[in-house]
């Protein structure tokens, strides 16, 4: 039996499915990953050096401008076939938990509900000083060109600078989101790992947790990211093509 058939059978027999997504699924909608070459003035910067609290303290206008540019990219992007397939899976009569490392809202725009955001969201800024969440109007600014400096808005409670509501390098994951993700991974029948490299910890440990609990783990990725463990299936290809085909076979009967 080929990998697609094994994966389809596992999904067909499942009652609780965890869908765990990484940057690869959003890349198919045109959102660059860290591996992609930046363009324009941003090509002079290393994203990993901009995505830290230290960078924000040193140059808040640069970091805020970077995130406004990224947010504009995300708002211009559209959910792809994989996002829509995941949303359809949720109405198949099974319990579906969507967990993402992505900071965009493409899952929600495709129709998925209750998405667990491990790394936060660009749509929910918060105060750098008091950590209170701020309204969406705080990020409804625009940048005219890549690399523009934009002074962050101020918190209405303490007058501190607002920062993106995302997890920066060196910061812990949101406690509630991480607990929900671990709980789901430990109690699912199938975990679909889509477009994730498996190197960003601790999120990358979720497939291992599912395997240790007896679930089948199905990887969908353009490259082989499998760990050669039993009850693991590797489907190589773009999620926008592989996932709809898989679900068509799994839910056909």
Q: By C-alpha distance, which of 203, 211, 253, 197 is closest to 11?
A: 253
Spatial distance between the Cα atoms of 243 and 146, rounded to a whole number of angstroms = 34
The partner residues of 194 in beta bridges, in order of sequence, read 21, 220
> For residue 12, with 0-12 CB atoms within 10 Å meaning exposed, 13-18 middle and 19 or more buried, which class applies?
middle
Active site residues: 119
- DSSP code at position 58: H
Please list the helix, strand and coil fractions of the chain in percent, rounded to the nearest 5, in that order.
40, 20, 40
**β-pair partners for 141:** none
User: 158-194: buried (b, 16+ CB within 10 Å) or exposed (e) per residue?
Assistant: eebbbbbbbbbeeeebbeebbebbeebbeebbbbbbb
- 131's CB contacts (< 8 A; 6+ apart) are none
């Amino acid at each position: 039996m080929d990998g697609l058939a094994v994966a389809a059978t596992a999904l067909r027999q499942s009652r609780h499915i965890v869908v765990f997504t990484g940057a690869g699924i959003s890349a198919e909608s045109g959102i660059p990953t860290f591996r992609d070459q930046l363009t324009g003035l941003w090509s002079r910067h290393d994203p990993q050096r901009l995505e830290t609290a230290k960078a924000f303290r040193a140059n808040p206008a640069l970091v805020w401008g970077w995130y406004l540019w990224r947010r504009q990219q995300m708002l211009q992007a559209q959910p792809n076939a994989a996002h829509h397939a995941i949303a359809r899976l949720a109405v198949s009569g099974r319990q579906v938990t969507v967990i993402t490392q992505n900071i965009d809202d493409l899952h929600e725009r495709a129709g998925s509900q209750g998405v667990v955001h491990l790394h936060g969201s660009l749509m929910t800024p918060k105060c750098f000083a008091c950590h209170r969440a701020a309204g969406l109007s705080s990020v409804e600014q625009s940048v005219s060109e890549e690399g523009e400096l934009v002074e962050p808005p101020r918190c209405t409670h303490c007058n501190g600078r607002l920062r993106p509501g995302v997890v920066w390098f060196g910061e812990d994951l949101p406690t509630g989101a991480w607990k929900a993700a671990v709980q789901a991974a430990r109690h699912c029948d199938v975990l679909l790992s889509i477009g994730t490299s498996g190197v960003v910890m601790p999120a990358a440990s979720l497939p291992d947790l599912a395997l240790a609990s007896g679930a089948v783990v199905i990887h969908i990725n353009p490259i082989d990211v499998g760990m050669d463990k039993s009850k693991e299936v590797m489907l190589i290809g773009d999620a926008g093509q592989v996932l709809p085909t898989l679900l068509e076979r799994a839910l056909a009967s």
